[in-house]
Amino acid sequence: MAKRNPLYDFKWCPGCGDFGVKVALEQALVGRMAERNESIENTVIVAGIGCSGNMVHMMEGPQPFGIHGIHGRALPIAYGIKSARPDLNVVVVAGDGDFLSIGAEHIGPQARRNLDITAVIMDNGIYGLTKGQASPTTEMNVVTSTTRFGKLDDKLNPFLFYLGAGVPYLRSQLSSRVKDLASDIKEAMEYPGFSIVHVQSPCTTYNDTYSLLKGDAKKGIEPLAYPLGDDHNAEDITAAANLVRDRRIPIGMIYRHEGEPVAAHQRLADAKERANIEQASVEQLLTAMTIA
């Protein structure tokens, strides 16, 4: 709610990738509202803790509801919101540390519940807010304040991790491609199950990966990111897994589980219907225990 708040005392650094994600998210929401004739108050942004999570305060334009909770728990908060209120549009915004380190345990359960939640992950391969410590997606051997001798453990491959956890909808994008990212987020919000838009969103202060991602012909650096060709069949999980095993980062639609997903709350409603159970009144519940 930055516009109306003179006291807000956080700012992103100049050039931070999260600026692009912010604009894309705003555009996606405005587009969705116009298309569906839906009010902005129908959207809830669930933010992780990190520079990225501050998105919920930085957003301009129409103001959605927001919840800025505790480190790593954006997904289960979103689970509680969506299971209680399937009518709301629930969007998680979080960083690589929040989502893939401290909060990684929630991805599998969330994928299996398959509630209609969209997660926009801002991967900068670093802990930005705490001033530059290694994250799961920091490359091996990189020197950070917690890896003085170079990062000892290998980099997590987030895409393989998501696919293994059963995430049914997976897109990859760059923060600098704002227009594409806006339409990616909007499409992911349309998907009726759990969707992830994983964004390379560089940290200019602690891990500037712009030139790595885009390459530098003069220095002979091959771009790490490359656009996915039309020949990739996103409904083929084997193809998706083979694609992301490479060190390079494909940009585009990586995986989409074929068929329409059924969310946990819908499965529950169906199961109740099958079992033909109605809520008993308190009086009925107690009377059933009457001593004859």
Ligand X SMILES: Cc1ncc(C[n+]2csc(CCOP(=O)(O)OP(=O)(O)O)c2C)c(N)n1
Distance (Å, whole) CA 265 – CA 85: 10
Distance (Å, whole) CA 81 – CA 45: 11
Residue with tokens 């802990």: 127
Among 28, 44, 51, 115, binds ligand SF4 (CB under 6 A): 51
Nearer residue to other proteins within complex by CB, 44 or 203: 44
Residue 11 binding other proteins, by CB under 8 A: no
Q: Which residues form the interface with ligand X (CB under 6 A)?
A: 48-52, 71, 95-98, 122, 124, 126-130, 135
Number of residues that bind ligand SF4 (CB under 6 A): 11
CA atoms lying within 13 Å on the CB side of residue 120: 34
Residue with tokens 């992911």: 188
Measured from the CB of residue 132, what is the shortest distance to ligand X in angstroms? 9
Distance (Å, whole) CA 259 – CA 186: 19
Among 124, 138, 200, 207, binds Mg ion (CB under 5 A): 124
Nearer residue to other proteins within complex by CB, 165 or 241: 165
Q: Tell me which residue of 111, 89, 88 sits closest to 99, measured CA to CA.
A: 111
Distance (Å, whole) CA 37 – CA 29: 11
Measured from the CB of residue 252, what is the shortest distance to ligand X in angstroms? 23
Residue with tokens 């670093």: 126
Give the footprint of other proteins on this chain (CB under 8 A).
1-2, 4-5, 7-10, 39-42, 44, 46, 54, 56-57, 63-70, 73, 76-85, 87-88, 105-106, 108-109, 264-265, 268-269, 272, 277-280, 282-283, 285-287, 289-292
